Structures are given as structure tokens and as C-alpha cells.
Structure 1
């Protein structure tokens, strides 16, 4: 994500934490946890299973804002389950089945509890189908930044970081549970529905068109997106043959620079981790940020700039392919993407990385808290996560030398490709690659409370 102001997320965290509920069942096994205990969003995600695939069948009416959906979720049980939970904000659930048999459904806040007729056996793969409908919610935080389902005059845009994906489909909405996706979206003829992954041939019948998108690489739910509207869509390829799918209102010239910028990032970060790239640009949306939605980053009316495009494309390696184990690890996403901006400014604009480091170092706002330990959920998108995080990377570069540093830039996303990683994983990886104990560096720059002075600065 690239932010122009911090986002206050504490209210959402409180609501999700309050949604922690227990449930019991008469079947063998126990209830899966109604939350994964994330340090900032304890009620987000669910225990007892691992989602493998979401197949979402949606129909949307822009005039009324009404969404009708069926979520077909394939998962593997990680314990015997008498019941399990799904996250869903708002919307009305009309029924659910597990392996074709009706399941009892109850609800508490943002938690659905499903009780399969015969339970689920540890290690078994099971299929859950949930039918739902309603007007999806727009989640607005205390700073006025919005996520979830954002209506426009002719459609909508769905944005998910950190909890907005709960507004439009039920699931295990924590970044630690990644899955593949298929979306089939039916909208009035003349509109486009754009999502992540690769498009299948569209079908038009009875004045409505169905668009299908398939994401074969695992994706955290907050990175799933859907944009509905009268977009101009294009498909091209990079010189290496990677498809570039774009959707925009108008045809911003910057879209044509995606192949060149992606090639530059491939040189820096290693092979591109997804089957396609592109962008969604909608100037009718004003949320104050761009978002790294997987393979198809989203830009609102004020964020489609070259440096922000570099930032969101860098996230495809750092944050999307290598996803955080918990929201505490968000600095790993944002530090690399911010450092990519610094390197872009040096290579394309003549501004040395050191100059951006010095500017960030001088800004007192970047020292409000350690990047690896934001004090509250609303601090997850604070300046230290971005700019002080990038300073950490620059200090690593100075400590280990350019050869090792650029090997880390490529090796880190290769080692954890399509997986999850934590701050502890990163610290261990860097020290192993460098053959150095960097405890002092981490203590000062990653975890230190105060701005350093003297030679260490």
C-alpha cells in the first residue's frame, strides 16, 4: 500500500476482537477457533482449517448496490472439527452446506459458525458452500480512509487491506491463510468486471455479461480485488512475455510504462512471481491510497504516479508473494516497496538512495515507534513502518555490502515464494546470507525507541 496519510484501524481491531466467540457441537472433535490471535486483529481469521481454494460466483446490480453471492470454499481440516468459523461483515446468509449436506449456521458479529452434520476429520479435505446477499459494507476508519466495498456511479471497487475483504465474501480472512481463487462475476451488459489473475472468455446473455478470473498462485484475501464499471481494458505483454492486463477510466500514459518498470524490478528482485501484471486506475474513487492488489494494483484519483506504481509493483514480490505471518510483520511489505521507490529515484531521477535516507532520518515522524513493533492497529500504516523500515534496509546494505544486499533482495522472495514469513525469519535469513551477527543493527534500527546519534547513524 502507498499512503498519503496514516489509517486509523483501532476501531476495526476492537470490533473484530469483540467477535471472538466459542461454540460447541455434539459431533466428534471440537470447534475451530473464532480468531487466530493476531496481535492487532485477534478475531480475524479462524482456526482448525486451511483454505485451499475460493470459487466465488457473484452478481451485482449497480443501481441498487445489491450483491448476490455463492462462496464455494475448499479447505483442509487441521484437526477434528465439530464446528468452524468464517469471517463475514454484514450481508445476509441464506444457507450453507458442508460436503453437500446442510450445515447449521449461527452468527455473532463478524463471525459465522457452521456446524456440519457429521463433523470434519483431521487432515480431510472438505467443501463448504455459503449462499448470501445484500448491500456490501464500506468500512470507514477514524481518519476517513475507506475499504471494503466502495460504490461508484456505475459499479463498485472492492479493496481489502486489512479487513475489507470480509465485506464481500465469507472466508478465513487472515494473511497467513492464502488460497487460489476463481471469481465469476455477472454485471449489466456494457460494464466490465476486473479481478486478479487471468481472464476466461466472457459470456453475454439476456443483457448481462459474466466475467471469470482465475488466480492460480496463492493469495491472501486482503489482496483480492474486484472492480466493476465502464473501464477501458487492454491486454499486452512485457518483452519477457508476461501478460499485462489494465483497466482504467481514460487511458493514462503511465500505463504504457508498466513493462519497462516491471523489467527494472525483475532485474532487482528476481523472477516475477505471478502469471500476469497490470493495474486498475479509477479516478472516481477517492480513498487516499493505492493498494497492491495481487497482480493488478489499484490506484485512485490521486495516486497513479510513477513512484507509486513502482511501490505497488514491488509489493508483488514483497507482501504478495512473500506475505506476512501476522499484521505485525507489515513493515516487511512496506520497507521493501519504499526502498524500491528510493532505488527508482536514483536510477531514473538521479536522486541517490542516501539522500532519501537522510531525508527520512531527519523526519521526526519516522521515529514515533519501532517499525517492527507498532503500538496499536492504527499505527500499522504509520510513517515508521514505511520510511524507517526502508532505513533498516539501507543500514543492512551498508553493513553487509552491495553484493550481499542485492543477493538478499533476490533471495528473500525466492526462499519464501508464495509463502508467509515473519520478522524473525527475515532477521535469520539476512544474518545467514551475510555470515554476520547484526544484533546491534536490529536493536537500534528495527527495535530501538530513539533516533540514534553518533557513528551508528
Structure 2
């Protein structure tokens, strides 16, 4: 299968752990970093290629020894001091030191990755923005643990993936240390920096500017109920915690990171106008972050399930039922061009709303075919069996077929591989 982003990622090696030490000066948009990667080869390697953006590299070592390197066209190429063999028990430690003014990676969907805010910074990398701020193997099937240490001016609060394990202040700056033990794809690694106030409620955390706190507490006030519902329907929440960050800037859309979601101030109005998006981003913790697609062709497995979670929340909270919403959206999609295959929409349509909604309709079609008594146990078995791993359309179809009382192949084939809407 052809990669949607052939210049990103390398299947010849994997990274088991990233240790990122960063210092960021908000006023200058200046990032200094040292990234330490634990690398294991899948085949013999004499040269290692990392995805990395236009920040200036000042030095590279492998197992403590300086090595020759070149850095251009989004690739940092290292001449390894020894051949790495395909032995998963032996890692090489690669360290890259770098600095510069970070900027997003250009894409068909605008800038991706590290983005300077009016007063702070955010990271939103899906699908190829991670190299904007650290060297990585930028493919969703290479998941690793992370330690992210960020030093910023003390008025600013830093939120990153995982658990806050350390915080120290010195000379007007504060260092924040977060550790993400569960495997994470590079595009889900995130740092949020702003003048945030933190509130904890119902097992979730809210980080937002003080002037938005009252409205934000109301708009995100039912997340505890959502968490309980999704844990019942999808299985246990897959991470240690969950944080919602509200940036003090307008954002086109909310985005998820592992254990975190990021909204703009324009998504907070005190009236829960955007609550379906709150449900959508929370659901991504199961579908996208714990169960991550192995390749971008299968994005419906993330976005379709997250869109369907919106319908499940509506059903449970007194809104239209999933049946009603499915009928409504099928009528709408029937009026639009039938020009893509859900299981391989192509990079231009990766984030097309038709992928999201046809994906949700596919999930609903499976639910109706199996019945609730079978469908939800099958869904929980799906999330449990692939927890913190990678998934494909093929593995999902096989999983459903194993549990169905009657053949579902023709139904799945029509929804996933036929262009006309079933």
C-alpha cells in the first residue's frame, strides 16, 4: 500500500523511548532542545534518517560519540559509528542538540506542529507536524514512551503528555517534567504553554486562562459523565489522566493529543454549544491514541469512531438518538459526491467531513447488524485486544467477523470499499 506521506517515517528502525529536554522563551519564540532517542534496527543499518524540520542542529552523538550528519529537506541523516543489526534487544542511543525559532510544518491543511500563540505556544501535529519541534521517526505505527522536560518563564504553565513528575523553579524560570509511559505516536506528542489556571473535576483536568474559567467549567462540566459513559461502552479509560487545554487564541478546530485535548477560546461560550466536540475529542483517547492507525489510509477507524461517540453521547444525554442522527447524516451524505473509498480516501480527503460521517455510519451499520447485546461487547474486546497498539481496517473486519452470528463481509465491504453510499 502506498504511503500518504512517503517522506515521513522509516520502517527500517523503531524508537522505543524519547527523552526531550526543551527550553522555550515565549517573547522570542526561541526553542533550545536536546532529544535523546533509543533506537533499534529492523534491518542492518549504517545510516539513520530522522524526520526533523528547519531548526539548527548543533551536534549529534550516537552512544556518546560524535557522528557526521547532514540536515536538509526535512531529514537529519546520521552516519552510524557501527552497523545496527536487527536485534530488538540492542538499542543505540542517539542524541541531537538543536535550537531556533520553531514554526509549523507546511501542509495541505495549513501549518502543523509547534505554533506560536499571542502569548504562549501550542503543538497540534496530526498528521505530520511532529518534526517541527523534535527529531523523530514520524510514522503512526512507531509508538514509544516519552519523557518531556520543558523550561519556560515562570508566569507560564506548561502542559505535556503523561504524568507531571517534577517541577522546579530557578532564576525566573520553571522546569516541568512529564512522563508518558504508555506508547505514543510522534504526532500525538504535545506541549502547551500559556498563562493557564488549572481546575480538577470528575477525574479530568482543565487548563484555561483565568478570564475564561467560569464559562469553561460549565462547557466542560459534563466530561465526567462522558468519561463514565465511554468507559462503560468502550472499556476502561486507557491513560492515567486527561487534561483539556483552552488556548487564549481562536482555533479552527479542537485537536487531540495523547491524554489531552486542545480547544480555542472560540469554543468556549458558556452555553455548551460545542459539547459534541468535547465528546469527540475525549473519544479519541480510545480511538486514535490507545488504538492508533498503522497507516493513514485507515483514518476512519479514528475519526469515524470519534464521530460516532458524539451520537452515543447525544443518545445518552437526552438529545437525538444514534438512529436519528444516522438517518439525518445518511440523507446529507447521499446529496454529496460519492467519489472516495472510506478505507483509502487519499491524502487530499484525509480530514474531509464525509470520512468522519461515513465512518460513523459504518459503525452504526455494524451495531444494527450485530445488535446492542453483541456490538458493545465486541467493541470492548476490540479496544482491549489492541490497547496501546496499532490497528488496521483489515484487523477490524476480521474482529467483527469472528463475533458475528451471520456473515458481515458484504456489509463491511459495501461501506468500506465501495464508492456509492450503501
Pairwise same-fold verdict (TM > 0.5)? yes
Deviation by residue 1:410-450 (Cα, 9 ceiling, x = unmatched): 11110100010100000000000114322211222111111
Deviation by residue 1:311-342 (Cα, 9 ceiling, x = unmatched): 11111111110100100010000111111101
Matched residue, 1:365: 336
Do the aligned partners of 2:21 and 2:150 also contact (CA within 8 Å) in 1?
yes
**Secondary structure of the structure 2 residue equivalent to 1:316:** coil
**Secondary structure of the structure 2 residue equivalent to 1:82:** strand
Do the aligned partners of 1:57 and 1:185 also contact (CA within 8 Å) in 2?
yes
Deviation at 1:276, TM superposition (A): 0.8
Whole-Å separation in 1 of the counterparts to 2:103 and 2:361: 37
Deviation at 1:236, TM superposition (A): 4.8
Deviation at 1:130, TM superposition (A): 0.3
Q: Where do 1:65-80 residues align within 5 Å?
A: 65-80=29-44
Matched residue, 2:324: 355
Q: Where do 1:370-449 residues align within 5 Å?
A: 370-374=341-345, 376-449=346-419
Q: Unmatched 5+ residue regions in structure 1? A: 1-36, 239-243, 453-457
**Secondary structure of the structure 1 residue equivalent to 2:381:** helix
TM-score by length of 1: 0.86
**Secondary structure of the structure 2 residue equivalent to 1:119:** strand
Do the aligned partners of 2:61 and 2:94 also contact (CA within 8 Å) in 1?
yes
Deviation at 1:409, TM superposition (A): 1.8
Do the aligned partners of 2:40 and 2:84 also contact (CA within 8 Å) in 1?
no
Deviation at 1:128, TM superposition (A): 0.5
Whole-Å separation in 1 of the counterparts to 2:261 and 2:54: 26
Whole-Å separation in 2 of the counterparts to 1:345 and 1:168: 37
Alignment partner of 1:325 is 2:291? no
In terms of mean alpha carbon deviation, does 423-432 or 275-284 score higher? 275-284
Alignment partner of 1:168 is 2:111? no
Whole-Å separation in 1 of the counterparts to 2:139 and 2:253: 21
Alignment partner of 1:130 is 2:96? yes
**Secondary structure of the structure 2 residue equivalent to 1:137:** coil
Matched residue, 2:192: 227
- Choose which of 106, 109, 123 in structure 2 pairs with 1:158: 123
Q: Unmatched 5+ residue regions in structure 2? A: 269-273
Do the aligned partners of 1:66 and 1:133 also contact (CA within 8 Å) in 2?
yes
Distance 1:366 1:430, change over 3 A: farther
Q: Which has the higher contact order (CA 8 A, sep 6+)?
A: 1
Whole-Å separation in 2 of the counterparts to 1:146 and 1:98: 31
Deviation at 1:142, TM superposition (A): 4.5
Report how many residues are paired.
408
Do the aligned partners of 1:38 and 1:326 also contact (CA within 8 Å) in 2?
no
Alignment partner of 1:334 is 2:303? yes
**Secondary structure of the structure 2 residue equivalent to 1:51:** strand
Matched residue, 2:48: 84
Matched residue, 2:156: 191
Whole-Å separation in 2 of the counterparts to 1:237 and 1:351: 25
Do the aligned partners of 2:250 and 2:266 also contact (CA within 8 Å) in 1?
no
Q: Where do 1:53-72 residues align within 5 Å?
A: 53-72=17-36
Matched residue, 2:271: none
- What is the alpha-carbon root mean square deviation over aligned residues? 1.6
**Secondary structure of the structure 2 residue equivalent to 1:162:** coil
In terms of mean alpha carbon deviation, does 121-130 or 50-59 score higher? 121-130
Deviation at 1:303, TM superposition (A): 3.6
**Secondary structure of the structure 2 residue equivalent to 1:116:** strand
Deviation at 1:39, TM superposition (A): 2.2
Do the aligned partners of 1:366 and 1:387 also contact (CA within 8 Å) in 2?
no
